[in-house]
Structure 1
Amino acid sequence: MAVWTALCLLVPGALLVWLVVTIVGVVTPELGAALGRTGTPGTATVVSCESYTVGTGRSKRTNRDCEARFVPDERPGQPVVAGTVPDVEVGEVFPAVLTPEGDRVLPTRARGVWRALFQLAALPFGLVLIAFLSAVMMRARKATVWTGALGLPLLVVMVVGFLVGT
């Protein structure tokens, strides 16, 4: 029984560290850009998208690399071509911001904010999911109900954020 309890604590702990580092590292710059706090505002036009395959066998998956031509709102000058989010189509035009590094174009307004909120809600949802699964494995009814009740609104934010943000 001690081994089972240790696994119930170690696995969620390791997942917690991984979730915190990953989500906070990704969401912070994207949310700041979507809210207009960082970067250069402008308009982006998607010029190309290429699909490529990563991995082999069961771990094989397809990713997309897209590039957009960015024209700043202030002092329009030479357009910049930079990478953008993968959920766009060639020819699509959207309000965007060029990151301070100048290597990425991110959507702004509702699309960008919901996209960042989707990613931000993933962290607490992941934590609640870990607690929920641990409660189910330990057969703790009250904990299962409470974690389910906490996870439901986060799941709703994630679904809405995914649908609106992509």
Structure 2
Amino acid sequence: MSPSRRAARTSRGRRPSGPGGTSRDGTPRGSIGDRILWPLFLLVLIGGMTVLAVVDAVPRVRLALGQTGTSGTMTVSWCDDPGSDGPRRRCEGTFVSDATGEAVVAGAVNTFEPGDVYSAQLTPDGGRAVLRGVRYALADLRSSCTGLFILAMILAIWIRPLTRTVIVATSAMGTVGLVGWIAGWIASLG
């Protein structure tokens, strides 16, 4: 008997086994932890992190879009540079409201230099002036979109059988997450 016929004869009727192996009828074997608990743990972990990222980003997104706070212009007055050992760089300046023309001293975005002027949105408590616009709102949604993308990949790997509905739903979720992450990354570049 030739080697190729022998290989074909011995492999007949066998199915490829997964991580936990398979029984003769093709059903998965393995512990409940391999099949259910581990993917469930990942879903709860990544799902929870995504929800927390969305809840954390919503106030910043609303502020950047001008739905909360006061619109105006910020002129950076000073910045301290604590060096490599200290805390983050702090900046402060004068915020002038577009509506009333009132000037307020507030914290400024730390990427600017003294004398720089930028379009800003003052927080409702009046303590900080953040950058205003859709671009900055997108930059705040990066972590939420990352979680959505990872969640879609976990669902696509875990849910069996892969029906058309599952494929379309996880592909759409993953695409929204990936496109949102890329848009946020590009928005945060400059």
User: Considering the TM-score relative to the shorter chain, is it more than 0.5?
Assistant: yes
Name the residue aligned to 2:112: 89
Q: Deviations over 1:29-55 (max 9, x none)?
A: 22222222211211123432646779x
Structure 2: gaps of 5 or more residues: 1-30
Name the residue aligned to 1:158: 181
Higher RCO (CA 8 Å, separation ≥ 6 residues): 1
1:76 aligns with 2:98: no
SS in 2 for 1:37: coil
Figure out how many residues of one structure are paired with residues of the other and give that number.
153
Task: Flag the 1:63–1:44 CA change in 2: closer, same or farther, 3 A.
Answer: same
1:153 is displaced (CA, Å) by 3.8
Structure 1: gaps of 5 or more residues: 55-61
Alignment of 1:74-153 (within 5 A): 74-84=99-109, 86=110, 88-91=111-114, 92-109=116-133, 113-120=134-141, 122-136=143-157, 147-153=170-176
Match of 1:41 among 66, 71, 74: 71
CA-atom RMSD in angstroms: 3.3
Contact 2:149 2:178 in 1 (8 A): no
Instruction: Return the structure number with greater strand share.
Output: 1
Contact 1:83 1:104 in 2 (8 A): yes
What is the CA–CA distance in structure 2 between the aligned matches of 1:77 and 1:139, rounded to whole Å? 61
1:30 aligns with 2:60: yes
Name the residue aligned to 2:9: none
Contact 1:49 1:90 in 2 (8 A): no
Identity %: 27
1:13 aligns with 2:44: yes
Instruction: Return the structure number with greater helix share.
Output: 1
What is the CA–CA distance in structure 2 between the aligned matches of 1:11 and 1:133, rounded to whole Å? 8
1:138 is displaced (CA, Å) by 7.1
What is the CA–CA distance in structure 2 between the aligned matches of 1:39 and 1:6, rounded to whole Å? 45
What is the CA–CA distance in structure 1 between the aligned matches of 2:87 and 2:54, rounded to whole Å? 19
Task: Flag the 1:157–1:124 CA change in 2: closer, same or farther, 3 A.
Answer: closer
Could you tell me the TM-score, scaled by structure 2's length? 0.62
